[in-house]
Structure 1
Amino acid sequence: MNLPSLRRTRIRLLAVAAAVLALLATGLLGAVSAQAAQGCEVEYNVQSQWPGGFTADVKIVNLGEPVDGWDVEWVWPEGQSVTHGWNAHFTTTAEQVNATSLSYNAEVATGGSISFGFNGFWAGVNRDPFAFRLNGRVCDGTVGEPTTAPTTDPPAGSVTAMEQVAAMEPGWNVGNTLDALGGETAWGNPMITEELLATVKGQGFNSIRLPVTWDEFVGEGPDYAIDPARMERVAQVVDWALAQDLQVLLNLHHDSWMWLSELPNDHDAVLAKYEAIWTQIADRFKDHPAELALESINEPQLAGVEDAEGDVLVDELNRSFHDVVRGSGGGNEDRLLVLPTLHTSSEQVRLDALKATFDDLDDPMIAATVHFYGFWPFSVNIAGVTTFNAEVEADMVNTFQRVNDTFVDAGVPVIVGEWAVLSYDHTRPGIHQYGELTKFFEAAEFHARDKGVTTMLWDAGQFLNRNTLQWRDEHLYDYFASGWTTRSGTASFDSVYLPKSGAITSESLTLNRNGLDFEGLWQGGAELAEGADYTVSGDTLTLTAAALTRLAGDRAYGVNARIEARFSAGVPWRVNVITADAPVLSDATGPTASFAIPTQFRGDTLATMEAKYADGSNAGPANWTSYQEFWSNFRPDYDAGTLILTPEFLAAVTDGQPVTLTFHFHSGARVAYTITESGDTVTGDAG
């Protein structure tokens, strides 16, 4: 079991103490021994998982006196159940399971361990159990008398910041809605409804981040009064979410660049507005449950100052927010408060500046927040970074390692308040190669989980269709949901390209097992035959010529078949068998406002585009690289059969100088094309 899973088991103990102890008081938990000086630690690990089922093992280390006969008990958070087990006798009552010793493993010395395993059933979300106990003693790493039901309620504030933030995992942003300028629906999303929030909870999310832009609803100074209707609409959404058992993180959002960025230039007025807004929000929500957390400001940015001065000003904003909320009384006295770095950056210097603020505030109920959209060239597809390569993963690993080392290991929880990739959107298809995108998502969830941080998916409507309440891409959602508990296996690529004519030969790809076992290839419900259809040598998976010939069928351009590599856990890795030949581009003349190159794609898809002048220098807006940014500078229109050069790209091209474009396709094909701009007209030559 990796460390984050162990943490998740432990952090729930206090959060569910009241529920577990209530079970004890009503006699629902099993009988416990009267042995004194008991204590234990637990390791719980889901070894493999599949729809509706999973295999798990449990290791209990006895920290107390020797045991002769043991009873390990726990409570399921999502109604899971044991279907078959080994090395223990299992009984189930409601959400509780008891695993008791057998004759051969009843004695456990001090420092010794108990190990057993089981197959289980799950539906919805397969979360770790709550509150493991050994002979009545909670396995929290301490030693003492067996735990019994208290005579009074647990003390207020017994849930720590680390525990609360862990319980928020995973989280989801209601993006581009209450933060939209011009009204809640101005940016294309419908009004937030109770049904939406119920759907989010039902899909396995435990929290929402509720971005709110307040400026359009704030009056003039010195009062800066918030429109009551706006305040009550925000409160309505917060209350709906809490009723769905979703924790809520509420903030100031686009205010960061609309007016707060002027803090260096109009310090006193901006700070007065900021404090006035937070004073009103704090007062409105001071009696709300602790499951509502407050975030001082989204992505703070400050005009006209260097980052070092920006750190100082963000420190001032965070302290001001902290003082206002804590001083408002009620539940705000110990409510979870979330403070960002400058730009919500994870650079070490930014983290260090925020850590200094935390050290000085010395408040146990605060958390840090950063955002993560990955290595920028990959995130937007520029500079030729079209794959989830070692550089992209290193950036990811280093990001989560830094926040872990700076905050988590020091006992301060971290929320990645937004994460995704920057340019992914259902209205801009093809910017990221699909398999490389899924590898990014799979790895990001693992590395975040491995370093003990909570993540909140940024969704502005590109993932969950809020009109239909359906995922726009169910396969991507499968990766998100699976990644909350386990890894998925991947491979070096997800497409095998075959020519339209000529002999078909075998093709090999490299398996990325990610700690899992490879279990074979399937096409739909049919398993492919090892030996005849594929071979495996180490991590090299080879599809035979015979199998590819059968799968390609009549070899029509495009995807001919889809197979999947299955592993012992996680989402199967899809491999498309595609027939494609090098695309063919044609000569064209057109206006700079709407220039398109006639293109026969012939089954292939575009990866990126280079642009160079005759002297070898780079052409286009991104003159630091020959590879231009996908979509904003160029884009394919597969239905129309064209490659579009945007007005933004052509505006950056020198008039009268020929530019050689090299289009790179996912099959590996490269096609050259020359354009020359003259005034408002572009001439394209396919050569």
Structure 2
Amino acid sequence: MSSQYLGKTRRRIGLIAGAVAALMMAGTMVAGNAQAAAGCRVAYAVPSQWQGGFTADVSVTNLGDAVDGWTLGWTFPSGQRVTQAWNATVTASGDQVTAKNLSYNAAIATNGSVSFGFNGSWSGGNTAPTSFTLNGVACTGNVGGTPTPTPTTTPPPSPTPTTSPSPSPGGDPMATVAAMQPGWNLGNTYDAIPDETAWGNPPVTPALLQKIRSQGYRSIRIPVTWSNHHGPAPTYPLDPAWLAKVRQVVDWSLAEGLYVLVNLHHDSWQWINTYPGDRTNVMNRYTALWTQLATTFRDYSSKLTFESINEPQFTGTSGDAQSDEMLRELNVAFVRLMRQSGGNNATRLLVLPTLYTNSNQERLDALTATIDQLGDRNIAATVHFYGWWPFSVNIAGGTRYDANVEQDLVDGFDRVQRTFVSRGIPVIVGEWALLSYDYTRPGIIERGELLKFFEAVGYHARIRKLTTMLWDAGSFLDRNTLQWRDQGIYDMMKASLTTRSATASADQVYVPRTGAVTSRSLTLNLNGATFQGLRQGSTNLVNGTDYTVSGSTLTLTASALTRLVGSRAYGVNATIEARFSQGVPWQISIVTYDPPTQAAATGTTSSFTIPTRFRGDQLATMEATYADGSPAGPANWTPYKEFWSTFQPDYPANTIIMKPEFFAEVKDGPVTLTFHFWSGTKIKYQVTKSGTSVTGAPA
């Protein structure tokens, strides 16, 4: 995992299930000289179509004498246009389209076939072309003589097209990747620099892998950074001790029945990124490492898989298009090297990333072109997913799992499903979580909002047949105790693999410490479930007395809340559960609070804290503005600052810590801070910076 993730608003393009229209025609063709036998057949398929766009696959079968060099022509009947092609050079003049061979697929033997594909656009309709010419002569199905047309057939819509990448020996890649769901990352271990315990995790044991398997995980991704564990050029020999450690964990994992994915991890930014300016040396090093790994694991079970590069990125290119080309060269070299190494590597599943493992359409299209070029059946695509960036790090007011977070999730998963899965290419979401979720930094992501995210990721991945691998660097499973740090989070993730869980607009109900207690309402997000009741421990609450339900609105009565808050001490006084017909119950904390108060303070830009009596409340976010209302501090495009990196609550100490990183980008003079709390309370505080001195007081 790296920190280089940018959240962008993405509009969903609805996917229309693509109907495959196979149009098979017979005819004659002149090839070579006038005496040559000629004939061909063309199959044109539309595996996926969406509003304004579509993907087409074209297969040409040569029924006559062999040809060396081909040109296929056709006319679009509905004004469609080709926007991007692979395995052929496609040009057009109005509705007339010409596809010419590339250097590697010019020859078509007798009864041999060649395939290419393209993305296109349409407006009024997307009627398939009905006639084709090969090297200038019409194709209609026989070798000479009177053509006998094959009836046109249109199978029912299907998410999986009848066409797929050219087959190679081996198993079913879609089935293999499906069998890997769900997966778990052994994060911050063999990818740690310089060794496995350097980033705080204990050495790996068989007990850890047994725990992972016992919790329902079917696969493990083992990120490995090899940079500091091999010798010099020209052979770059792997450190035998380091390789033995990795091999041992692979052996243990396979013995547990887990699928295993091994990669080159932080090598991506340590030296592979210099490839554009140092092509020979980087390629030699890259192939030397993979050659040694291919040899070491050549005869291992097919449940071992390899990923070419983690989060590939390059320096010194003219932009992403050139970087895509750099990645294509490395991915192609990796696949060809593996296949040539023999043994089980000849058919082993290989996993190829997009640039940055990003799921933007341009990155997916570039990887599609690479996979089509390879013509290798046993390939999977991989992307990473860390959610809508403002929510993932709590910046720009991104405190809730809202429509932006949901749309980002749906759009990204739709794109990879449409681009790959619908064409029979499996997808592994090789890392997923939220960037700032970490048990050592509590409160950045509110727990209930976090649960909604985890529930939704599981559901949306499942219905699109995506395999997900949780990024766990120790934040979820405590590797010392082998216990989940938050059992409820694990329970929600596990349930999402098979069903949906209901949630609510909040998992906290705030009740003032003084004054009359009044009823409180929450909106239920049923997600296909039905509400069955509330429970506190083993006691069922009474419908009509303790709560009421009207549609999706759950209301806790004043009498029930009065009983639940008890003596009304600050903080959580009771926890109840909303139970549903399916999934995990939704916990609701009943919290007593008073509005927080703050006091004056002095300090420096490197050490400044605001005395804060939280009084049962919890901090959600903070705004910072200058006197004219413009945003102050880092990320000056938004007044809402990033939680923890610029400010941090310290509840035991009754302070809010203002980080040096905040003041480093604040101009001298007054700045108004607005603190937002989960109760809905907002309080203002003014700090004044003068050089390295800072003073502050309630505004």
TM-score bin, normalised by smaller chain: 0.7 to 0.9
Partner of 1:180 in structure 2? 192
Partner of 1:358 in structure 2? 371
Query: Hey, what's the Cα distance between the residues in 2 that align with 1:606 and 1:214?
Result: 41
What is the aligned counterpart of 2:293 among 277, 281, 285?
Answer: 281
Structure 1 segments of 4+ aligned residues over 2 angstroms from their partners: 156-159
1:511 Cα deviation after fit:
0.6
1:157 Cα deviation after fit:
6.1
Partner of 2:45 in structure 1? none
Q: How does 1:641-652 map to 2 (within 5 A)?
A: 641-652=654-665
Partner of 2:536 in structure 1? 523
What is the aligned counterpart of 2:266 among 243, 254, 257?
Answer: 254
Deviations 1:88-136, CA, capped at 9 Å, x for gaps: xxxxxxxxxxxxxxxxxxxxxxxxxxxxxxxxxxxxxxxxxxxxxxxxx
**Aligned residue type for 2:270:** M
Query: Hey, what's the Cα distance between the residues in 2 that align with 1:529 and 1:359?
Result: 61
Residue 560 of structure 1: SS of its match in structure 2? Answer: strand
Partner of 1:499 in structure 2? 512
Query: Hey, what's the Cα distance between the residues in 2 that align with 1:631 and 1:450?
Result: 35
Q: Does 1:425 align with 2:438?
A: yes
CA contact (8 A) 2:171 2:378 kept: no
Query: Hey, what's the Cα distance between the residues in 2 that align with 1:417 and 1:279?
Result: 23
Partner of 2:486 in structure 1? 473
Query: Hey, what's the Cα distance between the residues in 1 that align with 2:205 and 2:315?
Result: 36
Q: Does 1:509 align with 2:522?
A: yes
What is the aligned counterpart of 2:231 among 219, 228, 234?
Answer: 219
Query: Hey, what's the Cα distance between the residues in 1 that align with 2:595 and 2:542?
Result: 32
Query: Hey, what's the Cα distance between the residues in 2 that align with 1:198 and 1:594?
Result: 46
1:591 Cα deviation after fit:
2.1
Partner of 1:16 in structure 2? none
Partner of 1:195 in structure 2? 207
Query: Hey, what's the Cα distance between the residues in 1 that align with 2:663 and 2:194?
Result: 32
Partner of 2:140 in structure 1? none
1:358 Cα deviation after fit:
1.0
What is the aligned counterpart of 2:574 among 561, 565, 573?
Answer: 561
**Aligned residue type for 2:520:** E
1:681 Cα deviation after fit:
1.8
**Aligned residue type for 2:558:** A
Structure 1: gaps spanning 5 or more residues:
1-155
What is the aligned counterpart of 1:624 among 615, 637, 643?
Answer: 637
1:159 Cα deviation after fit:
3.1
Partner of 1:573 in structure 2? 586
Partner of 2:559 in structure 1? 546
**Aligned residue type for 1:547:** A
Residue 277 of structure 2: SS of its match in structure 1? Answer: coil
Deviations 1:328-350, CA, capped at 9 Å, x for gaps: 11000000000000000000110
Q: How does 1:352-391 map to 2 (within 5 A)?
A: 352-391=365-404
Deviations 1:423-473, CA, capped at 9 Å, x for gaps: 000110000111000000000110010111000000000000111111111
Query: Hey, what's the Cα distance between the residues in 1 that align with 2:364 and 2:399?
Result: 29
1:158 Cα deviation after fit:
6.0
Deviations 1:53-89, CA, capped at 9 Å, x for gaps: xxxxxxxxxxxxxxxxxxxxxxxxxxxxxxxxxxxxx
Query: Hey, what's the Cα distance between the residues in 2 that align with 1:225 and 1:190?
Result: 27
Query: Hey, what's the Cα distance between the residues in 2 that align with 1:429 and 1:263?
Result: 39
Q: Does 1:245 align with 2:257?
A: yes
Query: Hey, what's the Cα distance between the residues in 2 that align with 1:189 and 1:603?
Result: 34
Query: Hey, what's the Cα distance between the residues in 2 that align with 1:506 and 1:157?
Result: 66
Please give the TM-score of this superposition, normalised by the length of structure 2: 0.75
| Comparing 226-235 and 340-349, the one that deviates more | 226-235
Partner of 1:235 in structure 2? 247
1:213 Cα deviation after fit:
0.2
**Aligned residue type for 1:637:** D
Query: Hey, what's the Cα distance between the residues in 2 that align with 1:159 and 1:273?
Result: 31
1:481 Cα deviation after fit:
1.2
CA shift in 2, pair 1:448/1:296, >3 Å: same
Deviations 1:557-610, CA, capped at 9 Å, x for gaps: 111111110111111001111111111011000122121100000110000000
Query: Hey, what's the Cα distance between the residues in 2 that align with 1:608 and 1:304?
Result: 38
Partner of 2:216 in structure 1? 204
1:272 Cα deviation after fit:
1.0
Partner of 1:318 in structure 2? 331
Query: Hey, what's the Cα distance between the residues in 1 that align with 2:631 and 2:235?
Result: 53
Partner of 2:142 in structure 1? none
CA contact (8 A) 2:170 2:348 kept: no
Residue 228 of structure 2: SS of its match in structure 1? Answer: helix
**Aligned residue type for 2:556:** L
**Aligned residue type for 1:357:** T
Residue 548 of structure 1: SS of its match in structure 2? Answer: helix
Residue 675 of structure 1: SS of its match in structure 2? Answer: strand
Residue 625 of structure 2: SS of its match in structure 1? Answer: strand
**Aligned residue type for 2:327:** V
